[in-house]
Amino acid sequence: MQKIATIIIFLFVTINGFSQRADSSLKIVPLTGNFYIYITYSLYKGNRIPANGMYLITDSGAVLFDTPWDTTQFQPLLDSIQQRHHKKVVLCIATHFHEDRTGGLEYYRQQGCKTYTTVLTDGLSKKRGMKRAEFLIDKDTVFTVAQYSFQTYYPGKGHAPDNIVVWFKKERILYGGCLIKSTEDDGLGNLSDASVTDYATTIKNVQLKCKNPKYIITGHDDWTNISSLQHTLLMAQQLKQKSSR
Ligand SMILES: [Zn+2]
């Protein structure tokens, strides 16, 4: 009898484990040290596409870089961070105005977290009916949260007129957002707000500012191949050539 009970429990745990993995809406992957990548999904042109965000655990709480694309995952992300690290999200920065970055800004503000975008992003968010941050930064800014420091950097127009990257100089982590495309991607993706003429120069500015990154986090798809920056530059140069013909 005990044996049967054990088998049933085993089956239940196994099936439960599988089903959780199969429809997982929120994935969290350790990057290095206290840095974690979180992934949520949404439909884009009929395909289920992943969006990457990041969080950093500091002694003063968690810092969130971009909000989940999947709007059902705003609270689950906070719960996961609480369960896993026993920390609250204290600060959140969105890297451009599109909804895969800004969607959760108001929700997180209501939960007591300090939300930030640039003035440029805020103007576009207002115009396009996107969620907005409580605090605005009007130039590149160094944030220090407990034992960590990072800088926001506006390299110029690219994927969007307002895209910023976040550079962790000490850890050499470049959080690129949607400006930087994964080596898995054979195109620059959504170009509806992109600058065909400036994209390549903007990527070069990132390369000049963020020297020798160890990790480069792309907005979507696989980030582990750090040729992503060079890959994006090549695609941006081709785009410019094509448009000038
Ligand atoms: Zn995006």
Catalytic residue among 34, 52, 70, 96: 96
Tell me how far CA of residue 114 lies from CA of 63, 153, 204, 236, in angstroms. Answer: 10, 19, 31, 34
Residue 164, pLDDT above cutoff 80: yes
How far is the centre of ligand 1, averaged over its atoms, from the C-alpha of 98 (Å)? 7
**Residue range 212-230: average pLDDT?**
98
Q: Which domains, and CATH codes, for the chain?
A: 25-244 (3.60.15.10)
Q: How confident is the model at residue 245 (pLDDT cuts 50, 70, 90)?
A: confident
Q: How confident is the model at residue 19 (pLDDT cuts 50, 70, 90)?
A: very low
How far is the centre of ligand 1, averaged over its atoms, from the C-alpha of 38 (Å)? 14
Percent of the chain surpassing pLDDT 90: 88
The CB density around residue 3, as the number of other CB atoms within 10 Å, is 7
Catalytic residue among 190, 198, 205, 221: 190
Compute the distance between CA of residue 28 and CA of residue 39 in angstroms, rounded to an integer: 6
Catalytic: 96? Answer: yes
Compute the distance between CA of residue 172 and CA of residue 170 in angstroms, rounded to an integer: 5
Residue 173, pLDDT above cutoff 80: yes
Catalytic: 190? Answer: yes
Q: To 5 degrees, how large is the angle CA 239–CA 223–CA 105?
A: 90
Catalytic: 163? Answer: no
How far is the centre of ligand 1, averaged over its atoms, from the C-alpha of 227 (Å)? 19
How far is the centre of ligand 1, averaged over its atoms, from the C-alpha of 12 (Å)? 37
Biggest CA-to-CA distance, the chain: 78
Global pTM reads 0.90
